[in-house]
Amino acid sequence: MNIRNVLGIIPARGGSKGIPDKNIHLLAGVPLIAHSIQLAKLCPQVSKCIVSTDSDRIATVARAYGGEVPFLRPADLARDDTPMWPVLKHALSEMESREHCRYDFVLLLSPTCPVRLPEDVSQAIQSLEQDSRTVGVIAVSRPTFNPRWVCVDLANDGYVRQSFPDGNLYTRRQDVPEVFRINGVLYLWRRNHIADSNAPSYFSMPHRLLEIPEDRAIDIDTPNDLLLAELLLRNGIIRLPWLEF
């Protein structure tokens, strides 16, 4: 495999609502953002990993755990409704300008998905490297239920109907085609796809899937999510190489 210049980006704005100071809230005794920092340090394929934040407090915590925070994100890229894509474009542009280099791949590591492993990153990079047509790799998992089989909504007449038009083609759950959900654990894109487009284009441009077990597909948004992750880690159901209990 060719050696690629991979930029990891950990986006962590300061204004979390569901859990105040979520990105630096402790999980298994470690600030949430530090899990992504430690993960990146164990990935030799990642050339550099930075934290993009608007918060001095988050920046201080990130640096205390070995994270690089070369700039503070502008306020207009840290609002509640700011999409992720312009944040990535800004970070990529800043780093290439500062380092006078050009990256090949950009790896998005959300701090709210702390239970990813180095091999997940390695497999994603290998998948993107081996397929010249694809612009990115998206982490997915198999949900505990198949929405084609169980999801319903209400028709205009107020009666229940199946959410998926092909749902009535199947009479047994075992015959329903598998469905994967995008879980947010990681995203990997070619540099040009980020620099030259205004949206991730999951469905209009070719992407590969990286399947991750559903029990590791945790995206922490509520206190219950945090409690679940804590229980899984403390009881050894999930093990992370940078944690010792």
Query: Do 154 and 219 lie in a common domain?
Result: no
Cα angle 118, 228, 66; round to 5: 40
Cα angle 138, 142, 143; round to 5: 115
Burial of 13 (C-beta count, 10 Å sphere; 0-12/13-18/19+): buried
Query: Do 22 and 81 lie in a common domain?
Result: yes
Query: Do 162 and 187 lie in a common domain?
Result: no
Distance CA 142, CA 183 (A): 9
240, part of any domain = no
Distance CA 238, CA 146 (A): 24
Distances (CA, A) of 57 to 4, 63, 110, 241: 32, 10, 18, 26
CATH no. for residue 19? 3.90.550.10
Token pair recorded at residue 146: 């198949």
1, part of any domain = no
Query: Do 198 and 159 lie in a common domain?
Result: no
Domain count, the chain: 2
The H or E element that residue 153 is part of is strand 152-154
242, part of any domain = no
Query: Do 72 and 127 lie in a common domain?
Result: yes
Helix then strand count (H, E) for the chain reads 7, 10
Query: Do 164 and 99 lie in a common domain?
Result: no
239, part of any domain = no
pTM of this structure: 0.92
Domain range enclosing 221: 6-142+180-234
Query: Do 185 and 111 lie in a common domain?
Result: yes
Query: Do 166 and 222 lie in a common domain?
Result: no
243, part of any domain = no
Query: Do 51 and 98 lie in a common domain?
Result: yes
Radius of gyration, CA atoms only, the chain:
19
The model's pLDDT over 15-56, given as tens digits with 9 standing for 90+, comes to 777 788 999 999 999 999 999 999 999 999 999 999 999 999
224, part of any domain = yes
Sign of CA pseudo-dihedral 133, 136, 142, 143:
negative
244, part of any domain = no
Query: Do 55 and 155 lie in a common domain?
Result: no
Token pair recorded at residue 207: 């992407």
Query: Do 39 and 99 lie in a common domain?
Result: yes
The model's pLDDT over 140-185, given as tens digits with 9 standing for 90+, comes to 999 988 888 888 888 889 898 888 877 667 778 788 888 899 999 9
82, part of any domain = yes
The model's pLDDT over 190-227, given as tens digits with 9 standing for 90+, comes to 999 999 988 887 788 999 999 999 999 999 999 999 99
